[in-house]
Amino acid sequence: MIARSQRRLGRVVVVAIAAAVACSRPAQHELPAPGSLRGANVLLVTIDTLRQDRVGAYGNPNHLTPTIDRLAAGGVRIAHAFTTAPLTLPAHASILTGLLPRRHGIHNNTSFRLDDRAPTLAAALAGAGYRTGAFVGAFVLDARFGLNRGFAEYDDHLPHGDRAGFHYAERRAADVVRLAGDWILQPAAGGAPWFAWVHLFDPHAPYDAPPEYRAGRAPYDAEVAYADAMLGALLARLQQARALDRTLVVVTADHGESLGEHGETTHGLFAYNATLAVPLVFSAPALPARTIDVPASHVDLMPTILDLVGVGLDAHLDGQSLARAPAADRVVQFEALDASITRGWAPLGGIVQRGLKYIDLPEPELYDLASDPREQRNLADRDPRAGVMRRLFQTTGGADGAAPRVALDAEAAGRLRSLGYATGTAPKRPITAADDPKRLVALNEQFNTALTAFDQGRSREALSALLAVLRERPDFVAARTSAATVLMAEGDPRAAVRLLEDGLAGSDSSPDLLARLGRARQAAGDLRGAAAALERARSAGDASPDVVVDLAIVDAARGRADAARALFEELLARAPSSATTWYNLGLLELQQKRPAEAATAFRRATAIEPEYGDAWQALGASLATTDRHGAIDAWRKAERLLPRDYDLLFNLGMLLADSDAPAAAIPYLERFASEAPRDRYARDIPQVQAVLARLRAGRS
């Protein structure tokens, strides 16, 4: 079956300093002058889901972040930094473009792609002669969402694993920093400076740090400590190679984590400081140690970095360079729109100014952050400043940007569902207090608990919980599409079709429901209906690569191989480095009995992603009748990556047994005979045992 897609000049100061000392440094209002780090390398590190209050430089006493603390001690610590949105993709879009979500157009993790017209930090630095590379730790930053623009190297290659599971959404920080270090230390032609973005996903749920970081720590804190240690390992490696001698290091988080505050377990629903406040540190020997006390935003990173390294930009950004003394009364804007987009709930936006935070909702909120840092006392109904902040919010806001929507295939959506994300559409009815997320947080937690149950193999429990959510909120699109996924996983696609069609009765233009309906109809055997639903999804605004893949899958199943091939070639014209698309094209060619063309496609896939086990296995299949040595080589590579694929083990062993080196088959066939499930391979095991007996006799 065709698969769906996956994907400071001088040394760094290393003296430690107590958080209390760092916090007590005289407050400043700006970094050193623009151009003071002209031509420096840039290392931007974003640590996913890192609460500001878990960092020692921001007052945490538990020694979780010695690496960040050292950087802050010798560099510049931004005391009051905020994300633009408490979700990974929109936050990183702001970091890399200097634009607010309403201008770059990305409002959640699943439904949008960065517009090609948006300026990017990578493109600006590449234009100035920088070598550019990005190394991301999670699928939510896959290149399909558009953040790869300007990067010559964009490593988003996650493991290809069990397509029914949701547990391969990330890779550990150790793998990310190894790849980043390898790239940074490559010799550069002409000694060009480099810009590397390194994204460490580990503190994101589910919390599963390596065992050596868990002792005496809560699971979340263990992940924070692990991510910081891996950052330390990267910096130590670069410092030893003198790669930091002309490098500006910038460390921040995309957002924080609620950990139960205000009833939210993770992030994305609310915009309290547990998820909105982030650490932000700049480090380079030319940057004197100081604390900047003016509120800052993620949109400030791009203009600040470009200002410091002396690269101009002919584009209007929402951010301000922190090297140019932002006003103390500046307004910092934020939003949290995922619940509006995926659940039909009230949209959330807000501002921070002079220690006041205003959150615009049907039931508005105002907090004095100085006296109430945990935001427990809502002053909106009794403080005259609430009206001032409301008017200021209304005048600083604006129309949402229009970014292309990106729909997700079944596997991709599953990866994101495992993170608590899902797709949907914004409400088209009047919003009331009943839609305020404060009133719906328990329902949000019920939805997330259902996703966790499904990820842990408790499908019936998950389905029951999702259906209960839908009884309370039938417009909860994410719950409906997730319930349909559970039904299909349970082998009941017809029930999934009915559930999705019920949702479309009230939202007949929802591209997410239509796309999922197309997949459900395909699973139910209704190929014509599947194609119709997918075409309707495209007409409703879904022009993503994944819907094209779905249509190609349906065309192939309908015997329309030429149409399917044309769709894959269309995708490859737009994204020639998509290993999964090359793999899918190879499978199509293999199905059409065109092994040479299939082998060409599989070779492209494995060249792009050398760890793509399925592609190596398929390459072996395409070569088995024409190039035995090539097939054996491909299957050996596949076996190292897929050691428990017993079909692969059988094929490799039997092909070797019939080769000019038959004894090489023995280890593979012995493993098959001892490990392969008896019920599934009852007919094959005796055959393998007979071949083993012959090979052993011949060897003796």
- The rounded distance, in Å, linking the Cα atoms of 196 and 170 is 19
pLDDT > 70 fraction of the chain, expressed in percent and rounded: 89
Mark 591-623 as b/e (b = at least 16 C-beta within 10 Å): ebebbebbbbbbbbbbebbeebbbbbbbbbbbb
pTM for the model stands at 0.84
CATH 1.10.10.10 fits 410-618, yes or no: no
**Per-residue pLDDT tens over the stretch 627-671:** 999 999 999 999 999 999 999 999 999 999 999 889 999 999 999
DSSP state letter for 322: G
pLDDT of residue 509: 73
Confidence of residue 680 (pLDDT cuts 50, 70, 90): very high
pLDDT of residue 543: 60
Are 502 and 483 contacting, i.e. CB atoms less than 8 angstroms apart? no
**Per-residue pLDDT tens over the stretch 101-145:** 999 989 998 778 888 889 999 999 999 999 999 999 998 898 888
pLDDT of residue 29: 59
Q: 576 preceded by cis ω (within 30°)?
A: no
Multiple choice CATH, 40-313, 3.30.360.10, 3.40.50.1220, 3.40.50.2300, 3.40.720.10: 3.40.720.10
CA-based Rg of the chain, rounded to a whole angstrom?
Answer: 27
pLDDT of residue 3: 53
pLDDT surpasses 70 at 4: no
Cα-to-chain-centroid distance, residue 213 = 23
DSSP string, 471-514: HH-TT-HHHHHHHHHHHHHTT-HHHHHHHHHHHHTS-TT-HHHH
Cα-Cα-Cα-Cα dihedral sign, residues 238, 146, 82, 55: negative
- What is the average pLDDT score of the chain? 88
**Per-residue pLDDT tens over the stretch 307-347:** 999 999 888 999 999 998 788 899 999 999 999 988 889 99
Sequence ranges of the chain with CATH classification 3.40.720.10:
40-313
pLDDT surpasses 50 at 410: no
DSSP state letter for 626: T
pLDDT of residue 109: 86
pLDDT > 90 fraction of the chain, expressed in percent and rounded: 73
CA distances from 526 to 57, 518, 540, 542, 601 (A): 59, 9, 21, 21, 29
Sequence ranges of the chain with CATH classification 1.25.40.10:
410-618
